[in-house]
Amino acid sequence: MRFRRLTVPLLAALAFAAVAAQAGAQPCLIFVHGKQTDTNTYTSYTSARNYWVNGSNDFIKTATKNFATSYYVVGYNGTRPYWEPQAAGEVANEIVNATNGGADGGGHRCAKTYAQGGTFWVVAHSMGGTIMDYILGNNDSTDPNFNANGPYDQVAQRLSLAIAVGGAHRGSQGADAVCLNSNVLCSFIAIFIQSCDDATYWLRSSDDVQVRTFSNAPAKTVYLTGGYEAIFGASACLNGEDDGVVQYASIFACNGSATASYDNTNVCNNSNKQEASGFRNLDAAHENHSDERDASDSDTRKAIPGGNWTCSGSPCAPNTTVATMTTAQYITLLY
Amino acid sequence: MIDAKKKMALAMVMLAAPTLGLRPAAAQIVPGQLARETAKDYREAARYPASSHALKKGDADPIRAKRLPTRQTRRGPDEAEPALSVWAAKVSFEKGQPVDLYATLDNRGKAVAPADLAGEIVDGNGGIVALVAYRDDGQGPDRKAGDRVYSARWKPEGLEAPQAASYMVRVKARLADGDLRQAAGGFLYSDPSAHLTGRYRDALRDGNLVISAEVDVAEAGRFHLAGTLYAASGDPVGFAQNALNLEPGKHWIDLAYYGLMFHERQAAGPYRLGALALSTTTRMPNALNDLVEDAYVTRSYRVQQMRADSFERPELIEAAKRLEMDAERAEREAREPQKQ
């Protein structure tokens, strides 16, 4: 009895120590959500956290290997243009807070600070990708919008890399449809894009609102993955493969027209991005825009040009089925 | 005791569970590869300062690429043809310039004629500021009659616009069968607070080529200048940018092309400033001046006059070191999974 009393706490302590050591050695994951139709994720941590949850499915729990890896959840005003203080400014400040060891709204903090040698990876969904492009492309004093409304330079210094999931790097044809008042056929888009509000206006696919018009190549690499599961109705408004809200040309940050049609075989490779450097392909998943961020659809994953799946020692041919798993599970393979 | 062991084993399985997705045996993600390759990229990029980098032969001009207007194309329901494509003559028009807009209807590569083609120009608040009709009559902005590239011109007058504003162009095409196609384009309308005077000079400074451009500032603000440099052969050499806060009056803005790029490209001078872009970046949206092509040709220089050392940008070197440690850990864990 005495042995048992001593052993159980000892094992628990060892388990805690093991988890803590692992967390200390792995990158802290910083989650940046996407477009919102209200300000809830900005005003409520619970809303920001729940962005990544669908019932019992939890993107953050999965991506952090059951919370073994430390994490931080960012909440910003997803109704404002990507470049505004409550969007890019808030995200930049929160990322720096995370790297300083500060807690997010739920009390979660990175296991190591930047000063202690910690590494930090951002996982951004949808408009979160656009915001990261703006921050990381305006981090130097010679950039057009250097530190416009936040410490972009510190963000760029301290992040190791970013992973954009279904990122709206070149805007969204869903936003075009909503701002054209022709979204009757695109009803599902309303979950993310309800009206042509300010954020939506700045997520259109024309050059005057594109993040690349107002920034340089990202200072740290932005890795690209996204879904190709159509959404009935919504996908009819988007060119080529899409996740029901964002078309491939945007998810994979392609150069040229943001409305060009691409699929898994021909989506732009790493030499044909919206910037000459700083964007790299990962893979594509049979997930829609909602599945991508809540780990609710463990489905087929496909290789794409310039992606990171290896088949028998060589890059897998584009459109090869490489796995069946959620994007959150896939992220666990990357670190 | 047994219960505790079971709980521990269960906990370990749960920790590993998320990584147990199904995949073909042949396809894999190499552990640590992402971190290692990212680190390699950073060490490569660290050879240059953030303000300047080399361009490779065959690279697209990064400044021109951003100023080249792209087409926004939209089909009918379920990607039905024909597709309506819309675009503006420029990404940004300077105050006083007419705004030329274009549209085509295209059925799998074959141009078709609409029954009617019209556009609304909408400001950022959703207000319609103008209606335009697209024509294919060879008049005004329309380059050739009957080529099925439809053109419209808007002459903004009396706009109380800020330094720069974004305008959306909502275009509707009525097809011959009565069906409708819609597409959304847009443009910036800019009133920059500074302009290039056309005076340039060049010098060697610390082994770097510095090209200075004179600007005339009408209103205090922040100004960004970027330029691409070409060799006499026509091949691209490099990119440089700078940004300064300036008061009204005439000022010089320097673009410093880091010396290493001339060694890597083995390019002796004179050099041509191929694309030069000034913008007022005091606030968003930025006000873009018209792109200046072939603005200036420098004096002759020998490659040996340029510095050949790597810049070793510290923040990228540090990031690379940390990523390499991440990669080592991931590789170690993959080799010894039982110790995880």
- Asked if the C-beta of A180 comes within 8 angstroms of chain B's C-beta atoms, the answer is yes
Report chain B residues whose CB lies below 8 A from the CB of A146.
243
Place of tokens 């107002």: A214
A257/B11 Cβ within 8 A: no
Judge contact between A233 and A187, C-beta under 8 A: yes
Q: What is the pLDDT along chain B (340 residues), one digit of tens a residue?
A: 334 443 444 344 334 444 444 455 589 999 999 999 999 999 999 999 999 999 999 889 999 999 999 999 999 877 889 999 999 999 999 999 999 999 999 999 899 999 999 999 999 989 999 999 999 999 999 999 999 999 999 999 877 768 999 999 999 999 999 999 999 999 999 999 999 999 999 999 999 999 999 999 999 999 999 999 999 999 999 999 999 999 999 999 999 999 999 999 999 999 999 999 999 999 999 999 999 999 999 999 999 999 999 999 999 999 999 999 999 999 999 998 655 5
Interface of B with A in 92-121 (CB under 8 A): 92
d(Cα A277, Cα A219) in Å, to the nearest integer?
9
Query: Among partner residues B18, B26, B286, which is closest to A332 by beta-carbon distance?
Result: B18
Helices A2-25/B2-16 angle, 10° precision:
10
Q: Does the predicted model carry a pTM greater than 0.90?
A: yes
Q: What angle do CA A27, A30, A32 make, to 5 degrees?
A: 155
- To the nearest whole Å, the CA of A324 is away from the closest chain B CA by 5
CA B180 from centroid of its chain's CA atoms? 32
| A100 in contact with B, Cβ within 8 Å | no
Q: Side-chain half-sphere of B165: how many Cα atoms within 13 Å? A: 16
Residue with tokens 């060891």: A101
Beta strand pairing call for A310-311 and B128-133: unpaired
Give this complex's ipTM: 0.91
The residue of chain A with its CA nearest to that of B224 is A144
Task: Report yes or no: B167 at the A interface, CB cutoff 8 Å.
Answer: yes
Please, which residues bridge with residue B93 across strands?
Answer: B189
* Stretch A96-115: mean pLDDT: 98
Chain B, 131-160: which have a CB under 8 Å from a chain A CB?
none
Rounded Cα–Cα distance for residues A226 and B328 (Å):
28
pLDDT at B219: 97
What residues of A are in contact with residue B257 (Cβ under 8 Å)? none
Q: Is the Cα torsion angle A39, A41, A44, A47 positive or negative in sign? A: positive
Torsion region of B58: left, alpha or beta (phi above 0 gives left; psi -120 to 50 gives alpha): left
Contacts with B315 from chain A: Cβ below 8 Å: 156-157
- The residue to which tokens 């991931």 are assigned: B330
Tell me the per-residue pLDDT of B23-34, one tens digit each, with 9 for 90 and over.
555 899 999 999
Tokens read off for A138: 């305006």
CB contact under 8 A, B8 and A11: yes
Torsion of Cα atoms, B16 then B19 then B25 then B26, to 10°: -130
Give the closest of B51, B60, B329 to A142, CB-based: B51
Subunit contact B284:A83, Cβ cutoff 8 A = yes
Beta strands in chain A (DSSP E): 28-32, 53-54, 57-58, 71-74, 120-125, 159-165, 222-227, 279-285, 299-302, 310-311, 314-315, 321-325
Instruction: Return the minimum-mean-pLDDT range out of A96-100, A111-115, A304-308, B177-181.
Output: B177-181
**Would you call B127 an interface residue with chain A, using a CB distance cutoff of 8 Å?**
no
